[in-house]
Amino acid sequence: MAVIERVVPATGEDAPGPLALPVQLYLVTVLLTVSVQIGPLYVTGLRALLIVLVLPLAFGLVNGRFGPPRAVDGFFAAHLLWAGLALALDNPGRVVENFGAQGVEFSGGYLLARAHIRSAADFRALCRALTLLTLATLPLALWEAATGQAPLIALLSALPGVATVAPVEAGLRLGLHRVQMDFAHPIHYGLFCSVAFVFCLLGLNRVFPDGARRLAAAAVVLCGGLALSSGALLAMALQLGLLAWHRIFGASRYCWGALIGVLGSGYLVVDLAAHRTPMQLFMAYATFDAQTAYYRKLIFDWGMVNVLAHPAFGIGLNDWVRPSFMASPSVDNFWLLTAMRYGLPGFAFLAAGWGLALVQVARRDLAGDPGLEALRRAWVFAMVGLSFTLATVDIWRTIYSFTVFLFGAGVWLLEAEPSERPAPPDPAPHRRHAPPLYRRPGLTTARPRQPARRTRFPPAG
């Protein structure tokens, strides 16, 4: 934890504010997955909450109540519309059920964050809530890793009239059971913890003392590690790497440009010198075993075959073309699966909104407000980690909405202004003459001025 920044004493402006009630309810429904079956519809607690909130939130965004419209808003709306069109063409009998659920989860999570995470106090309150929720799962995670029994799933399954997720038999890794908690898959619990990790490190650096923050961050790492997911571990390792780079080179204005140059040069060197492509090497080291890495390479190769065969509207919810020995229909790559289902335009709209907002927030001038800069780094590092993690896992159900919610929670940074700006430099730092001397009462600091002497010359001749 040597890369953790030292805490700066908090002021009144730095204190976390109260987290809005809709956000509190949202986080509870993300962590506690309960559902009921209403005819053909599968309604979770999260979907029920967002169905109530999504229309008022959408009107609020259009009316400018949550700040001026942003390009990311338009790109995300275009992604949803294109996805609905693609499903209507590919799966007309399932478009209402599936697009309704996806549209509510995606737009509801994004709009909820845009509406209620509007300031540094709101963002710090979110960081605190995610940290405390993750720490609360630690005893349950330790029990599940040791015994293979998920106490939270067992408790929710015992409630009358509702259902929860089914336990996933993922096998042992490193002699431990993979912790699922109450998510659809252990990967999702690891992703949840990976975001809480960087939010705790940076988002609370003006709230909690150094010792408490380091202890909490270590506990969050333990929670995420117990999921035994390479995607979650990759995200936390990447976030630590970014923190270390900033700690060492952050004083330079070319800090991040140099990092991009180093990574680009490394990619070219690997591509020219190695027997495998950089993507293959990345997959090999981003998984626990070589067999999984090879299978993910096959998924990527055949997934691209499907994308290029249906570039406009994708394959929808239909099965994808692959060799017969690839029995599982799952695609462990969210970005690839988006292009497969909704075509290249559907993927492009989502990627453009995601990448544009990330770059705009990263390039904003927030000099003079170290607290705001720390929050910006927390969100940017979390989104960079998520971007790479989503290339190795797929997300669905509650964690799908939660991922979009986290992205929307940083859009307010496009409007945030530093509380203090550095003083402008002196336009004339080097003066020809010394400044005049001033007298203080009772002191004589200047010598009395002597009258000028006149030189007399003798008369000529």
Residue range 142-154, pLDDT digits in tens: 999 999 899 999 9
Does the pLDDT value for residue 443 go beyond 50?
Answer: no
Q: Would strands 176-177 and 172-173 be described as parallel, antiparallel, or unpaired?
A: antiparallel
Q: Which residues contact 309 (CB under 8 A, 6 or more apart)?
A: 321
Write down the pLDDT at residue 450. Answer: 56
Report CA-CA distances (Å) from 300 to 85, 224, 280, 305: 25, 26, 10, 9
Tell me: the pLDDT tens digits for 331-354?
A: 989 999 999 999 999 999 999 999
* C-alpha dihedral (102, 106, 107, 110), degrees to nearest 10: 170
CA distances from 196 to 232, 411, 418 (A): 11, 18, 25
Q: Cα separation of 146 and 288, whole Å?
A: 20
Task: State the pTM of this model.
Answer: 0.86
Cβ atoms 90, 346 nearer than 8 A? no
Q: Is the pLDDT of residue 39 over 80?
A: no
**What per-residue confidence (pLDDT) applies to 459?**
52
Q: What is the mean pLDDT of residues 175-185?
A: 90
Cα atoms found within 13 Å of the Cα of residue 164, Cβ hemisphere only: 24
Which has the higher per-residue pLDDT, 367 or 317? 317
Angle (deg, nearest 10), helices 186-198 and 398-408:
20
Higher pLDDT, 293 or 69: 69
User: Which run of H or E residues covers position 41?
Assistant: strand 41-44
C-alpha separations of 225 from 139, 196, 269 in Å = 14, 13, 31
For residue 94, the Cα-to-chain-centroid distance in whole angstroms is 31
Mean of all residue pLDDT scores within the chain = 85
- Report residue 449's pLDDT band, with 50, 70 and 90 as the boundaries: low
- Is pLDDT of 90 > 60? yes
Token pair listed for 326: 């690839």
Instruction: Give the pLDDT band (50/70/90) at residue 127.
Output: very high
Residue 40 pLDDT greater than 70, yes or no: no
pLDDT of residue 286: 62
Q: Where is 78: in which H helix or E strand? A: helix 71-90
> Residue 9: its pLDDT value, please?
43
- Asked if the model's pLDDT at residue 431 lies above 50, the reply is no
Report the C-alpha gap between 301 and 295 in whole angstroms.
10
The pLDDT tens digits for 217-265 are 999 999 999 998 888 888 899 999 999 998 898 777 788 888 888 888 8
- Cα–Cα distance for residue pair 214/216, rounded to 1 Å: 5
pLDDT of residue 169: 79
pLDDT at 31: 92
Residue 134 scores a pLDDT above 60: yes
Q: What is the pLDDT of residue 234?
A: 86
**Quick one: pLDDT at residue 367?**
80
Between residues 212 and 277, which one has the greater pLDDT?
A: 212
pLDDT recorded at residue 11: 44
**Gap between the Cα atoms of 346 and 398, Å rounded:** 21
- Of 77, 79, 83, nearest in space to 314 by CA: 83
Q: How far is CA 22 from CA 50, 102, 115, in A?
A: 9, 19, 10
> Alpha-carbon distance 144 to 148, whole Å?
5
* Residue bearing the bigger pLDDT, 281 or 209: 209
> Between residues 111 and 433, which one has the greater pLDDT?
111
pLDDT at 451: 54
